[in-house]
Chains A and B, each alone.
Chain A
Amino acid sequence: MKSNGNSINFSQGLKQKGGIIANGIVKNNPVFRLVLGTCPTLAVTSGAVNGMGMGLAATFVLVCSNILVSLLRKVIPDKVRIPAYVLIIATFVTLVQMILQKFIPALYESLGIYLPLIVVNCIILARAEAFASTNKVLDSALDGLGMGLGFTASLMLIGLIREFLGAGTLFYGELAGLQMGVKIAAFESVSMNIFILPAGGFLVFGILMAVINAISDYARKRKEEKEKKQIALIESAEAQQRISEAFGGASEKNGVNEVNEDVKTESGVELKNAAEGGND
């Protein structure tokens, strides 16, 4: 029995941890929902590979800084916490810069100035301040991972669309010495250069956000309708109960039988049956 209880606790815990990750990816997606970190979102997404590189670099910094901030949350005095967070973040960003420069120089070149600018990416500071400074280490790490993956996914989506429409390629580029992606010859000749330009970044980001707004609006409406239906169902059941009670009272007055009394104390379904019986 005890092991059974433990396993339930464990699966609930797992569900909660999964919820923390999913929160960052879907519900509070940093790019489309919180509108944080817009500069790198627009700047490096002329291709999906760049977007992915930027996203993963930011994810690494986010997870590491969340862990460290969470570990030090009782040590850092409240007054100097923001400079302390900035220093922690800057340290990890420098680390990422060095690693990329050494091992993936092509990505280092193409991310350019936006790599050191991860320091001022509001997502990282916002998560340190809003989540890591008050939560446990594991939860903070998971939150960083979820937010980072949400950021990466959004960047890749924007990058994919811009790359496809602007250059007619998918995931085209070189990553760590590996040639990857496909070039679609048919689309190459009709590609619209505007999507690679800054203007295209604004356009794709704006339209994607509008689409996501429309979808979430639709989902909310569906949910509300469902709830309304349920409320209506409950109301009708209650109404039937009242009718049956009224009938029951009437039948009692008529002195037909005493069965109705017993039925009333049981579940509503039987009450309904009783009411139908009364109708008959």
Chain B
Amino acid sequence: MEFLILIVSAIFVNNFILSQFLGICPFLGVSKKTDTALGMGLAVIFVMGVASIFAWLVQKLLVALHVEYLQTISFILVIAALVQLVEMVLKKFAPALYSALGVYLPLITTNCAVLGVAILNVNTYGVATGLSLLQFFLNGVFSGVGFTVAILLLAGIREKIEYADIPKPFKGFPITLITACIMSMAFVAFSGMAG
């Protein structure tokens, strides 16, 4: 039950984009078409799941060495290295998946959602128990799912908006932001659902 609450909360209640403002850049940049949005979403789920596990290990090490203030530097380095590694491993062993995720993988290094989920995990769960590793991983993966849901919904709407008659100053980013505003209003309804 606890994990069910964690999952629902990660996808809907604390949706990364619409209620926490993490990962807005790819949300606005890669949401023109549904298939590219799906590719980005899958890449984010993958990297966030793996990065959460590594964040747990790194934080454990930092706590053991009493150098918690190095958190920001070590996390960003680990994530950058990890993305590179994931890219190489995928290229070698799963070329189909690699070509599907393709250009989105390197973009993820500068996606604040990945660093964000690592820091949030440390702040909420800590690394004291072995159970927290599972919490880290689940939160990482399902926050990624929440990201994918939001970016897919927006991409679907943007495909339709393409053909609508919009006042000229609103074309492009402004109308996308206002669409996101209305989506965010809908997601407010989830707040309080899972504590």
A residues near B (Cβ < 8 Å) are 35-36, 38-40, 42-43, 82-83, 86-87, 90-91, 93-94, 97-98, 113, 116-117, 119-122, 125, 194, 197-203, 205-207, 209-211, 213-214, 217
Asked if B5 is at the interface of the complex by the 8 Å CB criterion, the answer is: no
Interface residues of B in 114-134 (CB under 8 A from A): 115-116, 119-120, 123
Kindly report which residue of chain A lies nearest to residue B114, judged by CB atoms.
A120
**CB within 8 A of B112: which of A39, A209, A211, A213?**
A39
**CB within 8 A of B184: which of A35, A202, A213, A217?**
A202
Q: Are B69 and A94 in contact (CB under 8 A)?
A: yes
Binary A-proximity of B3-26 (CB < 8 A = 1, otherwise 0): 000000000000000111111110
Interface residues of B in 146-195 (CB under 8 A from A): 167-170, 173-178, 180-182, 184-185, 188
**CB within 8 A of B76: which of A40, A120, A217?**
A120
| A198-B184, A202-B178 given; A90·B72 CB < 8 A | yes
Asked if B58 is at the interface of the complex by the 8 Å CB criterion, the answer is: no
Q: Are A116 and B119 in contact (CB under 8 A)?
A: yes
Which residues from chain A contact B20 at a C-beta distance below 8 Å? 43, 198
Cα distance A206–B184 when bound, in Å? Answer: 13
Q: Are A203 and B177 in contact (CB under 8 A)?
A: yes
| A113-B116, A117-B116 given; A194·B110 CB < 8 A | no
Kindly report which residue of chain B lies nearest to residue A125, judged by CB atoms.
B110
Q: Are B73 and A213 in contact (CB under 8 A)?
A: no
Subset of 14 A-B contacts with CB under 8 Å: A39-B23, A83-B80, A86-B77, A87-B73, A90-B76, A113-B119, A116-B71, A120-B109, A197-B188, A198-B184, A209-B174, A209-B177, A217-B168, A217-B169
Binary A-proximity of B95-112 (CB < 8 A = 1, otherwise 0): 000000000000001111
Kindly report which residue of chain A lies nearest to residue B181, judged by CB atoms.
A202
Which residues from chain A contact B62 at a C-beta distance below 8 Å? none
| A86-B80, A87-B77 given; A94·B72 CB < 8 A | yes
Which residues from chain A contact B109 at a C-beta distance below 8 Å? 120
Asked if B70 is at the interface of the complex by the 8 Å CB criterion, the answer is: yes
Q: Which of A93, A197, A199, A205 has the most CB of B within 10 A?
A: A199
Q: Which 5 A-B pairs have the closest CB atoms?
A: A206-B177, A202-B181, A43-B21, A214-B169, A210-B174
Q: Are A202 and B169 in contact (CB under 8 A)?
A: no
Which residues from chain B contact A201 at a C-beta distance below 8 Å? 21, 181
Q: Are B19 and A206 in contact (CB under 8 A)?
A: no
**CB within 8 A of A207: which of B18, B69, B178?**
B178
Which residues from chain A contact B188 at a C-beta distance below 8 Å? 197-199
Q: Are B111 and A120 in contact (CB under 8 A)?
A: yes
Q: Are B72 and A113 in contact (CB under 8 A)?
A: no
Q: Are A203 and B181 in contact (CB under 8 A)?
A: yes
| A42-B24, A116-B119 given; A97·B72 CB < 8 A | yes
Instruction: Quote the shortest CB–CB distance from B84 to chain A (angstroms).
Output: 9
Q: Are B169 and A198 in contact (CB under 8 A)?
A: no
Cα distance A117–B72 when bound, in Å? Answer: 8
Kindly report which residue of chain A lies nearest to residue B191, judged by CB atoms.
A197
Cα distance A26–B115 when bound, in Å? Answer: 30
Instruction: Quote the shortest CB–CB distance from A198 to chain B (angstroms).
Output: 5
Which residues from chain A contact B21 at a C-beta distance below 8 Å? 39-40, 42-43, 198, 201
Q: Are B69 and A213 in contact (CB under 8 A)?
A: no
Kindly report which residue of chain B lies nearest to residue A36, judged by CB atoms.
B25
Instruction: Quote the shortest CB–CB distance from B189 to chain A (angstroms).
Output: 11
Asked if B82 is at the interface of the complex by the 8 Å CB criterion, the answer is: no
| A43-B21, A91-B73, A119-B76 given; A213·B169 CB < 8 A | yes
Cα distance A39–B26 when bound, in Å? Answer: 10
Q: Are A122 and B25 in contact (CB under 8 A)?
A: yes
Other A-B contacts than A40-B21, A117-B119, 11 sampled, CB-CB below 8 A, are: A39-B22, A83-B80, A87-B73, A119-B72, A120-B111, A202-B181, A206-B173, A206-B176, A210-B169, A210-B170, A213-B169
Q: Are B110 and A199 in contact (CB under 8 A)?
A: no
| A94-B72, A113-B120, A120-B110 given; A35·B185 CB < 8 A | no
Q: Are B185 and A194 in contact (CB under 8 A)?
A: yes
Which residues from chain B contact A217 at a C-beta distance below 8 Å? 168-169
